Chain A
Amino acid sequence: MSVSTPAWVDERADVRESRGMARTILATFVRNRTALLGVIIILTLSLAAIFAPLISPTDPLHMDFDALMEPPSRAHPAGTDSLGRDNLSRIIWGGRVSLQVGVLSMTIATVLGVSAGLAAGYYGRWVDTIIMRMVDAILAFPALLLAILMVAVLGPSLRNAMLAIAVAFIPSFARVTRANTLSIREKEYVEGARAIGASATRIMLRTILPNTMSTVIVQVSLGMSYAILIEAGLSFLGLGIQPPTPSWGYMLATGREFITLAWWLTTFPGLAIFVTVLSWNFIGDGLREALDPRQQRR
């Protein structure tokens, strides 16, 4: 920073104060059993996905023609599919796709949405108008329909599915951040920062952004659950990642063909989606409760 900060302006005051706050937040979060359960499940699933090559019983693409459509057994705890591939291995590998889509699409949506919201809220006027018009245009479509349309246009692939999901979630991040920025902009400490000559970028990134983070974090964790749901839906329709890569949605689509013959092909992948989405919901709710004092348990 070119302007030297006068000694009496303690820029880090809010940060130091938030140390104690952080502990309170963490304590509230940990006390929440379901949220903790969610964290444990997500951590387990993530580790399983990361170390899939090491822990999955067989190669998810390995076809065993002596074991076609076998019901769950000791050798294949979740049965095998019509090509003799081990269902459990495929579910573990499918977790990689869900994790990847969730993390990457939420990263894109957060970065773009938050910066758009910051700019719109801080600069106001025509910047605000243009950004918010674009956001409204995206919001004119239901998220799933928008994602389907985008993938239909760009062609089905994992990358396009992630992109489509990210775009569908930009509006919610932009709106939340804008609303927060509007109220924070009027605070004394922002005025103070401006008075000592901090640049607009610095104010937005160092002063306003940290104060909007708590709502954004809640949005991200709830967004993860929707992202995984939408990805599963896209793959189910054949618009997500292309076979032979295993993904939960696509496994359900193929399982549908054999529903009268093999219940395990539809039950287990769906259960995996359900548990993952549920856990993200638990985490999201727990975070909201911990970060938003108004939502404190009554």
Chain B
Amino acid sequence: MSMIIFAAVRFAPGDPAVARLGMEASRAGLEETRRQMGLDKPIPVQYLIWVGNIFQGDLGVSLSYSAEYPVADLVWEKLKRTVPLTLTAMAFGVGIALPMGIIAGLRPFTWMDNVISAVSLFGIAAPSFWVGLMLILFFAVQLGWLPTSGYGPIGGGFEWKHFVLPTISLGIQLLGALTRYMRSGMLDVMSADYIRTARAKGMPYQVIVVRHAIKNAMMTVVTVIALDFGGLLAGSLVTETVFRWPGIGLLLINAIQARDFAIIQMVVLVTAIIYILINLMADIVYGYIDPRIRFE
């Protein structure tokens, strides 16, 4: 996978040396800069150097920010901004979607179900960045309750108010998708034989729902949550642009414009690794919910 990322980024047209020095740079100056950046060596050699450096904990220096600024620090710095946002968005999405999905699934085709389904459809179909813009328009511009953008007040620091709108904007898609899966999961489970058995033996309704139905309906939902975490990371690219959130999304977009290979590679690699780890975790959680899987 590291190979794909490296190859993809390196075959990109555009020369970082030109990007750094500007179009008027002299030929000799360009050659010199390329040598400093290690771009004069053949591409496979560059790849081996890159991988070798990663294993030594050296992730290279950014080609555009400053020659002495290690990419690892930069990405780490930005991750500390992005990950909290992804987590709050996830908490928002899951926290609202699960109860809504359960209620809709237990009372299908009632007005409650219709309202919930409409909300979930809105979440799926509305582009998250547009939702973000609409939220800014209403809560920040019209009402003036919440800030329009940024991570904290000017001059640094942290304020929860800045989290509210980006969280909703980023989480709304997950909320929509998850509600749907939870609803159909509940529908499937509630018509299963073991639920009928549980009812027949006189188990109270609440206990059936909590102990049997929800647990089994969660099965697909866990996968969806894991898959959507990647979606959240990718979605944060767009959301961060909307809210000028100084995380890896904004970093990546800027790096793309500056043709900064080291940063693009790192951000993509880190995102892909996180994505894979999350999927692995989902498999493990799966084993806890459904012991049958552990023995396969």
Q: Which residues of A contact B (CB under 8 A)?
A: 137, 140-145, 148-150, 152-155, 225, 229, 232-233, 236-237, 239, 252, 255-256, 259-260, 263, 266-267, 269-270, 273-274, 277-278, 281, 298
Contacts and interface: CB of A to CB of B under 8 A. Distances in A.
Contact of A140 (B108, B233, B241, B276): B276
A153 B133 contact: no
A145 B133 contact: no
Contacts of A270: 126-127, 130, 133-134
Contact of A148 (B1, B127, B187, B237): B237
Interface string B205-246: 000000000000000000000000011011101100110000
A142 B136 contact: no
A281 B264 CA distance: 33
Kindly name the residue among A137, A255, A263 whose own CB sees the greatest number of chain B CB atoms within 10 A: A263
Nearest to B124: A281
B147 to A, nearest CB: 13
Nearest to B126: A274
A269 B134 CA distance: 12
A273 B127 contact: yes
Interface of A is mostly: helix
Given A148-B256, A153-B12, 19 more contacts: A140-B1, A140-B272, A141-B230, A145-B230, A145-B234, A145-B237, A152-B12, A153-B11, A229-B127, A239-B256, A252-B129, A252-B133, A259-B141, A260-B141, A269-B130, A270-B130, A274-B125, A277-B125, A278-B125
Contact of B234 (A148, A255, A281): A148
Interface of B is mostly: helix
A155 B13 contact: yes
B272 A152 contact: no
A259 B11 contact: no
A229 B233 CA distance: 16
A232 B125 CA distance: 12
B23 interface: no
Kindly name the residue among A144, A149, A150, A153 whose own CB sees the greatest number of chain B CB atoms within 10 A: A149
